[in-house]
């Protein structure tokens, strides 16, 4: 009976995570009904328009065609697709963005032929009515003309710029996940209808995320009883929404770029140096340090850091049956380049092996220094490698062995920043002694050495480049606000 209960309990524990995973994707679905039509999602556009300063006067602009210039079709694993990778209605999206910004007065030019034909019909109808009734009709109002033409288009759609995934399967149960990033890029330029001069060109980009998560179970729960279940979901960010965000961002950028060119002006002259333009200039300057994958290429770590580590050390030498012992160390880092730091370690440990009469147990202190190289110095998580040398001091010196023993150090590890000033690290080091006197016993061709597995915390001092830039931005915004308040008073 107890064996049967244990078997049922084990089956329940196996099935419970799978059941919960199966329920997860359906919490966001409407399984038994359709959804009514609703207004289109605005994503982040509303906040962008709210942050814009008010325009002194609206500028009349014309958009003839904002085209898809990529010529790409949707990628498919099998067969050919005749659906385009991005929307063909970019002109409509741009016209709405211009209208929502409250800075432009867009006029119809995409279907100008339809507009002109309708005006001809109106004139013809009025002339016929005037001829029949003898009442003269008022002339048709003239069309607006634009001082600026907006041109450009969707210039690229890059598929699979970043892909990856992870999975785990054990004893018939497992789960996996995959992700993919695409990117759409938009260019927008303002052209003078008077001279044909290109006033300004801006470009923006937006990533498109696709994710897939699935879980499955395949197991015999009893004799001749097989349980098999699977579940999962896929999320694809709509490409049309990505194009919309990129176009709206381009309109915002064009407005702020027009400040410098005096193409248009804000209602309040203090907005020339206000929070909005300062925020835009900071983002533009920050963009200089971002790579093609959108990663910020600015130093996240301050030049000086101190840390403390707890280590598990295992001796390898002339005694058999090595034992694991605890150790501790303090470390000091000084960053000399984005990827390279100098370090000094000071610590205490213990090496032990065997038992009884042939037992070896030695407590030692050590100091070492070297170079640490970070593989991804601009990311929160970075693997690293280190190389150095140092000296080991015996706690109980002997007359027949040197007190100080030199060693070399080689290690690998990783570090993750929890905050801009606090990180956690873990690593594996090998300390190779330059003589065979550590265990006071000479045998074999190789010197004594030991492995050390470490975990610890690192505390960074001072401001990073990112924090200095944010402080400068806050100071500029505060000065602009003070100037605006002074003028209002």
Q: What is the pLDDT of residues 135-183, one digit of tens each?
A: 888 888 888 999 999 999 999 988 888 888 888 888 888 899 998 998 9
Helices 239-261 + 275-287 axis angle, to 10: 110
Contact 148, 154 (CB under 8 A): no
Instruction: Return the pLDDT at 29.
Output: 54
Name the percent of the chain lying above pLDDT 90. 35
Instruction: Return the pLDDT at 386.
Output: 95
Cα 19 to its chain centre, rounded Å, is 32
The maximal CA–CA distance of the chain, rounded, in angstroms, is 130
Instruction: Return the pLDDT at 202.
Output: 93
pLDDT at 186 exceeding the cut of 90: yes
Residue 1: band (very low, low, confident or very high) from pLDDT cuts 50, 70, 90: very low
pLDDT at 2 exceeding the cut of 60: no
Strands (E), 223-266: 225-236
Q: Cα–Cα distance between 424 and 201 in angstroms, integer?
A: 44
Contact 434, 446 (CB under 8 A): no
Q: pTM (2 decimals)?
A: 0.66
Lowest mean pLDDT among 95-104, 264-273, 393-402: 393-402
The model's pLDDT over 44-92, given as tens digits with 9 standing for 90+, comes to 656 778 888 888 999 999 999 998 888 877 766 665 567 788 888 899 9
Instruction: Return the pLDDT at 411.
Output: 95
pLDDT at 470 exceeding the cut of 70: no
Q: How far is CA 216 from CA 11, 164, 177, 354, in A?
A: 15, 20, 12, 47
pLDDT at 8 exceeding the cut of 60: no
Q: Cα–Cα distance between 110 and 451 in angstroms, integer?
A: 72
Instruction: Return the pLDDT at 453.
Output: 94
Instruction: Return the pLDDT at 219.
Output: 83
pLDDT at 484 exceeding the cut of 60: no
Residue 400: band (very low, low, confident or very high) from pLDDT cuts 50, 70, 90: low
Q: Cα–Cα distance between 231 and 270 in angstroms, integer?
A: 57
The model's pLDDT over 282-331, given as tens digits with 9 standing for 90+, comes to 888 877 777 777 776 677 788 899 999 999 999 887 777 888 999 999 99
User: Which one-letter DSSP state was computed for residue 135?
Assistant: P
Residue, of 460 and 42, whose pLDDT is higher? 460
- The helix (H) or strand (E) run that includes residue 239 is helix 239-261
pLDDT at 469 exceeding the cut of 70: no
Lowest mean pLDDT among 312-316, 415-419, 478-482: 478-482
Residue, of 41 and 192, whose pLDDT is higher? 192
Q: Cα–Cα distance between 362 and 315 in angstroms, integer?
A: 10
Instruction: Return the pLDDT at 443.
Output: 63
pLDDT at 10 exceeding the cut of 70: no
Instruction: Return the pLDDT at 22.
Output: 47
What is the dihedral angle through the alpha carbons of 366, 369, 371, 372, rounded to the nearest 10 degrees?
Answer: 40
The model's pLDDT over 234-283, given as tens digits with 9 standing for 90+, comes to 888 888 888 999 999 999 999 999 887 888 989 888 888 888 888 888 88
Instruction: Return the pLDDT at 64.
Output: 92
pLDDT at 405 exceeding the cut of 60: yes
pLDDT at 41 exceeding the cut of 60: yes
Instruction: Please state the rounded mean pLDDT for residues 190-194.
Output: 93
pLDDT at 379 exceeding the cut of 70: yes
Instruction: Return the pLDDT at 5.
Output: 53
Nearest residue to 100 (alpha-carbon basis) of 246, 251, 239, 241:
251
Contact 392, 407 (CB under 8 A): yes
Instruction: Return the pLDDT at 21.
Output: 47
């Amino acid at each position: 009976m107890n064996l049967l209960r244990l078997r049922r309990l084990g089956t329940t524990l196996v099935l419970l995570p799978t059941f919960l995973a199966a329920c997860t994707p359906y919490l966001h679905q409407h399984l038994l009904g359709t959804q009514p039509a609703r207004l289109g999602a605005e994503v982040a556009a509303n906040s962008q328009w709210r942050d814009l300063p008010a325009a002194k006067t609206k500028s009349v602009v014309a958009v003839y065609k904002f085209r898809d210039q990529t010529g790409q079709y949707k990628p498919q694993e099998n067969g050919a697709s005749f659906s385009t990778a991005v929307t063909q209605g970019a002109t409509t999206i741009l016209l709405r963005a211009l209208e929502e910004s409250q800075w432009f007065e867009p006029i119809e030019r995409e279907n100008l032929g339809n507009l002109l034909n309708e005006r001809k019909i109106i004139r013809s109808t009025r002339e016929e009515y005037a001829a029949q009734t003898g009442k003269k009709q008022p002339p048709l109002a003239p069309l607006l003309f634009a001082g600026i033409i907006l041109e450009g288009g969707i210039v690229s759609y890059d598929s699979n710029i970043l892909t990856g995934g992870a999975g785990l399967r054990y004893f018939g149960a497992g789960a996996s996940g995959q992700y993919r990033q695409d990117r759409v890029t938009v260019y927008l330029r303002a052209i003078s209808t008077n001279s044909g001069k290109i006033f300004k060109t801006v470009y923006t980009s937006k990533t498109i995320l696709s994710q897939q998560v699935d879980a499955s179970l395949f197991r015999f729960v009893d004799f001749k009883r097989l349980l098999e279940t699977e579940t999962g979901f896929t999320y694809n960010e709509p490409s049309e929404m990505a194009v919309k965000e990129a176009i709206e961002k381009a309109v915002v950028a064009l407005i702020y770029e027009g400040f410098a060119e005096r193409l248009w002006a804000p209602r309040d002259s203090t907005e020339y140096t206000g929070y909005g333009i300062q925020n835009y200039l900071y983002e533009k300057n920050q963009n200089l340090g971002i790579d093609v994958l959108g990663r910020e290429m600015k130093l996240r770590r301050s030049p000086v850091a101190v840390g403390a580590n707890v280590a598990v050390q295992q001796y390898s030498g002339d005694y058999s049956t090595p034992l694991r012992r605890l150790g501790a160390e303090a470390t000091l880092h000084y960053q000399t380049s984005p990827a390279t730091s100098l370090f000094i370690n000071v610590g205490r440990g213990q090496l032990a092996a065997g038992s009884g009469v042939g037992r070896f147990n030695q407590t030692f202190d050590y100091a070492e220094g070297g170079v640490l190289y970070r593989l991804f110095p601009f990311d929160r998580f970075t693997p690293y490698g280190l190389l150095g040398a140092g000296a080991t001091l015996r706690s109980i010196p002997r007359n027949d062995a040197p007190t100080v023993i030199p060693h070399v150090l080689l290690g690998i590890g990783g570090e993750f920043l929890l905050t801009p000033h606090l990180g956690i690290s873990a690593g594996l080091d090998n300390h190779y002694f330059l003589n065979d006197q550590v265990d006071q016993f000479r045998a074999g061709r190789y010197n004594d050495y030991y492995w050390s597995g470490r975990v610890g915390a690192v505390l960074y001092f001072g401001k990073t480049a990112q924090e200095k830039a944010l402080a400068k931005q806050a100071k500029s915004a505060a000065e602009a606000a003070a100037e605006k308040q002074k003028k209002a008073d």
